[in-house]
């Protein structure tokens, strides 16, 4: 995986900016080895419209107000 691929996903709107989500490029990892407080995510998930889970507070507000993202 190259950083340019992930940056292209940011440009397409599939990923948030690196400064916001703190994503990183895996380096020579045969299997995902997340660091503490990291989540493994696959690009095909983001291409399909799935993303990072929202914070419980935001989900609660949206539910109370009857809104959807």
What is the tens place of the pLDDT at every residue in 1-48?
A: 788 999 998 999 888 889 988 888 888 888 888 889 888 888 888 888
Expressed in angstroms, the distance from the first to the final Cα of the chain is 30
Which pLDDT belongs to residue 58?
A: 84
Which pLDDT belongs to residue 41?
A: 84
Domain count, the chain: 1
Alpha-helical (H) ranges within the chain are: 3-12, 18-21, 43-47, 56-65
Give CA separation, 52 vs 20, 23, 38, 43, 65, in Å. Answer: 12, 11, 11, 12, 21
pLDDT band at residue 62 using 50, 70 and 90 as cut-offs: confident
Give CA separation, 30 vs 6, 11, 19, 26, 54, in Å. Answer: 18, 27, 26, 9, 29
Residue 29 structural domain: 3-65
Which pLDDT belongs to residue 48?
A: 84
pTM score above 0.85: no
């Amino acid at each position: 995986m190259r950083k340019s691929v992930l940056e292209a996903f940011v440009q397409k709107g599939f990923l948030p900016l690196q400064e916001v989500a703190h994503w990183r490029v895996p380096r020579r990892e045969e299997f995902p080895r997340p660091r503490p407080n990291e989540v493994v995510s696959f690009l095909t998930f983001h291409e399909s419209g799935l993303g990072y889970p929202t914070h419980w507070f935001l989900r609660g507000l949206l539910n109370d107000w009857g809104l959807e993202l």
